[in-house]
Amino acid sequence: MCKLCWTILILLLLALAGAVYKFGFVGSVERAPDGRLALQLSADERNMVLGEMRAFLVAVQNVIAATNAEDMEAAAEAARAAGMPAQQSIPAALVAKLPMEFKKLGFSTHRKFDELALDAAQLGDPQHTREQLAALMNNCIACHATYSLEVAE
């Protein structure tokens, strides 16, 4: 193969590696004035992320109310609503803008809701479910301490 072909191939591979790094790991972020990482999103994307966060909050409140009433099936149902299936509607373009650590926190939070739902249904122990919920909330705290959402200009 000619020297020019190898050079072009190497340049294309480097460009591809750079794109994978940017969109797979770094995302679209800037340092915010408060020191957190500001995710640069469109208005619709920002609203989608905020909607998902509100769904987490609703699930948390419903789990707490259900465990206080010792209705573990309702607790499981509330947790399932925020589990992994809930994240499947997130567009790939939005996922590409999110840094890897944000994605890890998000997926971990969905998985923890699934685990909480399974344990609530199988164990039926309100105290155990509340302890799982307290641990899950650490993901929310970590995310809000690390990230903010901004509409990209």
Model pLDDT for residues 59-106, shown as the tens digit of each residue: 999 999 999 999 999 999 999 999 999 888 889 999 999 999 999 999
Q: Does a structural domain hold residue 64?
A: yes
Q: Does a structural domain hold residue 121?
A: yes
Q: Can you give the residue range of the structural domain that contains 136?
A: 28-151
Q: Does a structural domain hold residue 99?
A: yes
In the chain, the number of structural domains is 1
| pLDDT score, position 89 | 83
pTM of the model: 0.81
Q: Does a structural domain hold residue 13?
A: no
Helices (H) and strands (E) in the chain, counts: 6, 3
Which residues share a beta bridge with 39?
29, 149
Q: Does a structural domain hold residue 19?
A: no
Q: Does a structural domain hold residue 41?
A: yes
DSSP-derived pairing of the beta strands 37-41 and 147-151: parallel
pLDDT band at 140 (very low <50, low <70, confident <90, very high): very high
Question: Residue 13: how many CB atoms within 10 A of its CB?
Answer: 10
Name the average pLDDT for the chain: 90
| pLDDT score, position 112 | 98
| pLDDT score, position 19 | 52
Q: Does a structural domain hold residue 95?
A: yes
Long-range contacts of 104-110 (CB under 8 A, 24+ apart): 105/139, 105/142, 105/143, 106/52, 106/143, 108/139, 109/56, 109/82, 109/136, 109/139, 109/140, 109/143, 110/82, 110/83, 110/84, 110/86
| pLDDT score, position 11 | 65
* CATH number where 95 lies: 1.20.120
Q: Does a structural domain hold residue 85?
A: yes
